Amino acid sequence: MWLSKMLSKSDKTMTAESGSVTLSDKNTCEIGASVCQRDIDSYSPYGYSSRAPRGEKIILVPSADGQVMLGTAEDASSLESGEIRIASAGGAKIILKNDGTVIINSMIIGKDGVIKNDK
C-alpha cells in the first residue's frame, strides 16, 4: 500500500513492469523488459543480498534514479502463511516454520535447538 501511494505521487509516465534476467554475473545484471537495461540496482530487506540468476522473472519499479529491481517471482505454495524460505539456485535452503523449527537443507532443528533427525 505504501509503495502504491508513493508510485501514484511520482511521475505518472513511469510504471512498474515485470521482466526477466538475461545476464547475471559478478559485475553486471541485465534485465529484459520493455527496454533492455544493464547494471540495475536491486533492493531487498536489510541483511539480505542476492543475485538473481538468468531467466528469473523480476519486477522493476521506478525511482528517482531510474528503474530498480525490487525482487523476483517466488513460488510459496509449499509454505504456510507466516513461514519463510531462503533458497539458492544450487538447491541449498533454510525454512523457518511456524512451529519454531528450522530446516536447513534436510536437517530439522527443533524450537529447543535439538536436532530432530540426527542419525
User: Using one digit for the tens of pLDDT, what is the confidence trace for 68-84?
Assistant: 888 898 899 999 999 99
Higher pLDDT, 26 or 102: 102
Domain spans in the chain, listed from the N-terminal domain onward: 2-72, 76-119
User: Using one digit for the tens of pLDDT, what is the confidence trace for 25-50?
Assistant: 876 778 888 778 788 888 888 888 88
Q: How much is the pLDDT for 35?
A: 74
Q: Report the run of H or E that residue 55 belongs to, with start and end.
A: none
Give the residue-averaged pLDDT of 89-96.
95
Say how far apart CA 27 and CA 23 lie, in whole Å.
10
Sign for the CA dihedral angle at 86, 87, 88, 90 comes to positive
Domain 2-72 classified CATH 2.40.50? yes
The CA–CA distances, whole Å, from 56 to 43, 63, 113 equal 15, 21, 35
